[in-house]
Amino acid sequence: MKPSNVLTLPGWQSSGPKHWQTLWEQRHGYQRVEQHDWMQPLRGDWITRLEEVVLGLDEPGILVAHSLGCQLVAAWAAISRNTERVQGALLVAPGDVERPELGAALYSWRPIALQRLPFRSALVASQNDPYCSFARARQFATAWGSQFFDHGEVGHINADSHLGSWPEGHVLLQDLLNI
């Protein structure tokens, strides 16, 4: 698979320069799906943008999602007629948009799409993620049909987790690429 067919899907406010997604893009040539508005994300807008990028791929792609990006994968897969253009998804630290403190900012993301994903997926969760309880992450994995990985206590699995380029995560991605 060409590196440009590995699509990174950052979460709310995007992924900064020290985030593992950014480092993977720089090191491996993966393509970020740029959204129109990272600060006030609207589910419909984000789904439309992902659909455009997926349709532009010359072969099936792999989705690498973080936080709200995981919810984007589930929401897109629930309505797209082009899911066969995705070979698999690595879902990392899904954000729980149904938490009360996120309601005002992420209102358009409710209800969470809980249909089984039509492609292979792996979900990586942290036991102390401030944006999604470990039990809730496991519920998402079950609903989406994702293989579940416990990554210990590393917060939101982002730059603040001090993972650098997160080589363990890249191993999981390589497993998805070798479908």
83-97: pLDDT as tens digits:
999 999 999 999 999
The Cα 83–Cα 54 span in angstroms is 9
For residue 179, pLDDT beyond 80? no
Phi first, then psi: give them for residue 111, nearest 5 degrees: -75, 160
With 0-12 / 13-18 / 19 or more C-beta atoms within 10 angstroms meaning exposed / middle / buried, residue 32 is middle
Contact in structure between 136 and 120 (CB atoms under 8 Å): no
103-124: pLDDT as tens digits:
789 999 999 999 999 999 999 9
Q: What is the pTM of this model?
A: 0.97
Contact in structure between 123 and 147 (CB atoms under 8 Å): yes
Reading the block at residue 82, the tokens are 């082009």
What is the predicted pLDDT for the residue at 1?
A: 79
Contact in structure between 62 and 170 (CB atoms under 8 Å): no
Rounded to an integer, the average pLDDT of 17-45 is 97
How confident is residue 102, by pLDDT bands cut at 50, 70 and 90?
confident
CA distances from 52 to 13, 81, 82, 85 (A): 20, 12, 10, 12
CB atoms under 10 Å from CB of 147, counted, come to 14
Rounded to an integer, the average pLDDT of 45-71 is 98
